[in-house]
């Protein structure tokens, strides 16, 4: 049982404050959704928690099982169990998915420990079967020339292989047609377990029809202005973001 605590977090890009005092706790086994309009700080939150160097945390804290992760490098946070599924995954020309994941798995092993290649491929292929992926996929260079759907599936495959404690999923539904969305959602659902906490960031309600959250939070101007269960997402869908602006945001 693990716990991710975001406490009164303030994040800036350069001089500009983006996240302005956000508090949220995610426990293993829970799926949280953060919804909100563009430019409200959702992606900034995810990247800041993962340790992106362009984002400055000006106050507040992020604790993983009670220990602050803010002093940790992005790769240390990753190895501690934090996974960010990117909205725009980077292309790494010439590096195959299989080799990349192999390096990432090796990075989690102790000094002097050697990765068992046969066991690694066995596990990789079983995860690909779980996600209904073609094995040829792993010999392609990471995200290089991938379609939007392929990029997102590649993120899910990495998540499956790295078995994080917490996954931050940044606009996983963006750029996907309905078929691709269903495939990706099936993948995430297949990975849902009591060992994994998920924080899903989305602009639209439609993703939440496929990945049903336990908790829904509405974000506005760098803060959470309302929290509830999955019915909040439907209410938001029905009433629109104007409702948030007029009803939920304190004047």
Partner 1 sequence: MSQSPTTDTLPPTAGDAAANAVQGIDQAAGNFSYKMDYAFDAGTGLTEDTIRYISSVKKEAPWILEFRLNALKQFRAKPMPTHWATKDLENINFDKIRYYLAQGQKPKRTWDEVPDDIKKTFERLGIPEQERKFLAGVEAQFDSEAAYSNVKDLVAKQGVIFLNSSEALREHPDLFRKFFGKVIPTGDNKFSALNSAVFSGGSFIYVPKGVKVSHPLQAYFRINAENFGQFERTLIIADEGAELTYMEGCTAPKFSTSTLHSAVVELVALKGAKIQYITVQNWANNVFNLVTKRGVAHEEAEIKWIDCNIGSRLTMKYPGVVLKGRKARGEVISIALANDGQHQDTGAKMIHAADETTSNIVAKSISVGQGRSTYRGVVHIPKHLKGCKNNTECDALLINTNSRTDTYPAITVRGDANSVQHEASVSKVSEEQIFYMQQRGLTEGQAMSLSVNGFVNDLATQFPMEYSVELKRLIDLEMEGSVG
> Rule CB under 8 A: which residues touch partner 1?
50-54, 73-75, 77-79, 83-84, 86, 89-95, 99-101, 103-104, 107-108, 141, 158, 162
CB of 66 to partner 1, least distance (A): 21
User: Between residues 55 and 220, which has the closer beta carbon with respect to partner 1?
Assistant: 55
* Beta carbon of residue 117, minimum distance to partner 1 (angstroms, whole number): 14
How far apart are CB 18 and partner 1 at their closest, in Å? 17
94 or 250: CB nearest partner 1 = 94
* Residue 189, CA distances (Å) to 107, 118, 192 in order: 27, 27, 5
CA–CA distances in Å: residue 111 to residues 104, 105, 107, 108, 205: 14, 13, 9, 9, 45
Distance of closest approach, residue 51 Cβ to partner 1, in angstroms: 8
For partner 1, the closer of residues 2 and 143 by Cβ is 143
Query: CA 62 to CA 5: how far, in whole Å?
Result: 6
What is the strand order of the sheet 3-13 is part of? 16-27, 3-13, 56-64, 67-68
Is the CB of 73 or the CB of 177 nearer to partner 1? 73
**Nearer to partner 1 (CB atom), residue 47 or residue 215:** 47
Contact 60, 7 (CB under 8 A): yes
CA distance 161 to 105: 8
> Cβ of 220: how many Cβ atoms within 10 Å?
18
Of the pair 100, 241, the CB lying nearest partner 1 is at: 100
- Rounded Cα distance between 148 and 40, Å, is 23
Measuring CA to CA, which residue among 86, 92, 8, 4 is closest to residue 47?
Answer: 86
Helix (H, G, I), strand (E, B) or coil at 32: strand
CB of residue 78 vs partner 1: minimum separation in angstroms?
4
Distance CA 202, CA 169 (A): 8
Minimum CB separation of residue 171 from partner 1 in Å reads 15
26 versus 35: smaller Cβ distance to partner 1? 26
d(CA 48, CA 62): 10
Supply the minimum distance, in Å, between the C-beta of residue 182 and partner 1. Answer: 26
């Amino acid at each position: 049982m693990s716990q991710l605590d975001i406490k009164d977090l303030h994040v800036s890009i350069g001089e500009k404050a983006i996240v302005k005092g956000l508090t949220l706790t995610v426990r293993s086994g829970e799926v949280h959704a953060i919804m909100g309009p563009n430019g409200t700080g959702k992606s900034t939150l995810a990247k800041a928690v993962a340790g992106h160097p362009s984002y400055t945390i000006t106050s507040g804290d992020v604790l993983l099982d009670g220990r602050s992760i803010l002093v940790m490098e992005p790769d240390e946070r990753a190895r501690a169990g934090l996974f960010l599924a990117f909205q725009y995954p980077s292309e790494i020309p010439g590096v195959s998915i299989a080799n990349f994941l192999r390096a990432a798995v090796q990075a989690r092993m102790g000094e002097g420990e050697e990765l068992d290649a046969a066991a690694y491929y066995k596990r990789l292929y079983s995860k690909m079967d779980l996600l209904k992926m073609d094995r040829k996929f792993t010999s392609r260079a990471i995200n290089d020339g991938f379609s939007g759907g392929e990029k997102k599936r590649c993120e899910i495959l990495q998540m499956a292989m790295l078995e994080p404690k917490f996954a931050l999923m940044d606009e996983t539904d963006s750029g996907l047609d309905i078929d691709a969305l269903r495939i990706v959602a099936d993948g995430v659902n297949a990975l849902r377990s009591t060992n994994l906490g998920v924080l899903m960031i989305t602009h639209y309600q439609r993703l939440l029809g496929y990945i049903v959250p336990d908790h829904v939070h509405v974000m506005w101007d760098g803060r959470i202005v309302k929290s509830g269960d999955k019915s909040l997402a439907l209410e938001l869908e029905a009433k629109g973001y104007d409702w948030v602006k007029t009803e939920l945001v304190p004047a």
